[in-house]
Structure 1
Amino acid sequence: MTPDALSAAILAAARAVFAERGLDPQMLPDAVTVERPRNPEHGDYATNVALQVAKRAGVVPRDLASWLAEALAGVDGVAKADVAGPGFLNLTLDAAAQGELARAIVTAGAAYGRTDTLDKLRINLEFVSANPTGPVHIGGVRWAAVGDSLARLLEASGAEVTREYYFNDHGAQIDRFARSLLAAAKGEPTPEDGYGGDYIGEIAAEVLRREPDALASDDPQEVFRRVGVDLMFDEVKNSLRDFGVEFDVYFHENSLFESGAVERAVATLREHGHIFEKDGAVWLRTTDFGDDKDRPIIKSNGEAAYVAGDAAYYLDKRARGFEICIYMLGADHTGYVQRLRALAACAGDDPNYNIQVLIGQLVNLVKDGQPVRMSKRAGTVVTMEELVDAIGVDASRYALSRSSVNQTIDIDLDLWARRSNDNPVFYVQYVAARTAAVIRNAADVGITLDETAFKPELLTHERESALLGALGEFPRVVASAAELREPHRIAHYLESLAGTYHRWYDECRVIPKGDEEITDLNRTRLWLNVATRTVVANGLGLLGVSAPERM
Structure 2
Amino acid sequence: MTPADLSMTVLRAVRRAVDENALRAPVPARVRVERTRPGGRGDYASAVALQLAGPAALTAREVAEILRERVAGAPGIGRVDITGPGFLNFTLDASADVHRTLLDRVRDQGLRYGHGDALDGEVLVLRHAAEVRAAVTAHAVGALARAQGAHVGVRCDGAADPDWPRLGITADAPGQPPAPMTGIRPVPAGATAGELLDRLGPDAARWGLLRPAGHDRASLGGELLVQGEGNPLFLVRYAHARTHALTRGATLLGITSGPGDAPGPDASALLALLADHPAVLLAAARHRAPDRLARHLEAVAHAFFDFHDAASPLPVGDEKPSAAHRSRLALAEAAGTVLAGGLSLLGISAPLHL
Same fold (TM over 0.5): yes
Q: Specify the code of the residue in structure 1 equivalent to 2:141.
A: L
Unaligned runs of 5+ in 2: none
1:493 to 2:296 alignment: yes
**Kept in 1: contact 2:126–2:152 (CA 8 A):** yes
How many percent identity over aligned positions?
A: 35
- Given candidates 269, 287, 296, the residue that maps to 1:484 is 287
What secondary structure, in the 3-state scheme, does the structure 1 residue paired with 2:35 have? coil
State the Cα distance separating 1:394 from its structure 2 match. Answer: 0.9
CA distance in 1 between partners of 2:80 and 2:304 (Å) = 27
Residue-by-residue CA offset, 1:437-466 (whole Å, 9 max, x unaligned)? 11111222122234xxx32xx326333222
CA distance in 1 between partners of 2:278 and 2:246 (Å) = 25
Q: Which residue of 2 aligns with 1:163?
A: 154
- Given candidates 131, 137, 144, the residue that maps to 1:146 is 137
CA distance in 2 between partners of 1:363 and 1:532 (Å) = 32
Go from structure 1 to structure 2 and tell me whether the alpha carbon gap of 1:44 and 1:522 turns closer, same or farther (over 3 Å shift).
farther
Moved more, 423-432 or 47-56: 47-56
What secondary structure, in the 3-state scheme, does the structure 1 residue paired with 2:294 have? helix
Go from structure 1 to structure 2 and tell me whether the alpha carbon gap of 1:513 and 1:87 turns closer, same or farther (over 3 Å shift).
same
What secondary structure, in the 3-state scheme, does the structure 1 residue paired with 2:226 have? coil
What secondary structure, in the 3-state scheme, does the structure 2 residue paired with 1:465 have? helix
Question: Quick check: which has more Rg, 1 or 2?
Answer: 1
> What TM-score, normalized to structure 2?
0.90
**Kept in 2: contact 1:44–1:469 (CA 8 A):** no
CA distance in 2 between partners of 1:62 and 1:240 (Å) = 55
What secondary structure, in the 3-state scheme, does the structure 1 residue paired with 2:209 have? helix
1:528 to 2:336 alignment: no
Within-5 A mapping of 1:507-546: 507-546=310-349
Go from structure 1 to structure 2 and tell me whether the alpha carbon gap of 1:83 and 1:360 turns closer, same or farther (over 3 Å shift).
closer
> What TM-score, normalized to structure 1?
0.59
State the Cα distance separating 1:12 from its structure 2 match. Answer: 1.9
CA distance in 1 between partners of 2:263 and 2:91 (Å) = 12
State the Cα distance separating 1:387 from its structure 2 match. Answer: 1.9
Residue-by-residue CA offset, 1:56-90 (whole Å, 9 max, x unaligned)? 31223223323333332332232222222332222
CA distance in 2 between partners of 1:18 and 1:125 (Å) = 39
Unaligned runs of 5+ in 1: 130-139, 169-232, 252-312, 315-324, 326-353, 365-372, 374-380
Q: Which residue of 2 aligns with 1:272?
A: none
Q: Which residue of 2 aligns with 1:550?
A: 353
Go from structure 1 to structure 2 and tell me whether the alpha carbon gap of 1:115 and 1:80 turns closer, same or farther (over 3 Å shift).
same
CA distance in 2 between partners of 1:164 and 1:15 (Å) = 41
- Given candidates 356, 363, 366, the residue that maps to 2:180 is 356
State the Cα distance separating 1:92 from its structure 2 match. Answer: 2.3
Within-5 A mapping of 1:308-319: 313-314=175-176
- Given candidates 423, 427, 430, the residue that maps to 2:235 is 427
Q: CA RMSD in A?
A: 2.4
What secondary structure, in the 3-state scheme, does the structure 2 residue paired with 1:89 have? strand
Q: Which residue of 2 aligns with 1:46?
A: 45
State the Cα distance separating 1:165 from its structure 2 match. Answer: 4.3
Count of residue correspondences: 352
1:384 to 2:193 alignment: yes
State the Cα distance separating 1:513 from its structure 2 match. Answer: 1.8
What secondary structure, in the 3-state scheme, does the structure 2 residue paired with 1:531 have? helix
CA distance in 2 between partners of 1:152 and 1:5 (Å) = 23
**Kept in 1: contact 2:313–2:325 (CA 8 A):** yes
Residue-by-residue CA offset, 1:360-415 (whole Å, 9 max, x unaligned)? 32323xxxxxxxx7xxxxxxx3432322222221111001011222233343x231
1:250 to 2:249 alignment: no
**Kept in 2: contact 1:467–1:500 (CA 8 A):** yes
**Kept in 1: contact 2:132–2:187 (CA 8 A):** no
Within-5 A mapping of 1:364-375: 364=188
CA distance in 1 between partners of 2:156 and 2:334 (Å) = 37
State the Cα distance separating 1:166 from its structure 2 match. Answer: 5.4
Go from structure 1 to structure 2 and tell me whether the alpha carbon gap of 1:533 and 1:470 turns closer, same or farther (over 3 Å shift).
same
**Kept in 1: contact 2:134–2:186 (CA 8 A):** no
Go from structure 1 to structure 2 and tell me whether the alpha carbon gap of 1:150 and 1:64 turns closer, same or farther (over 3 Å shift).
same
What secondary structure, in the 3-state scheme, does the structure 2 residue paired with 1:513 have? coil
Q: Which residue of 1 aligns with 2:16?
A: 16
What secondary structure, in the 3-state scheme, does the structure 2 residue paired with 1:504 have? helix
Q: Which residue of 1 aligns with 2:64?
A: 65
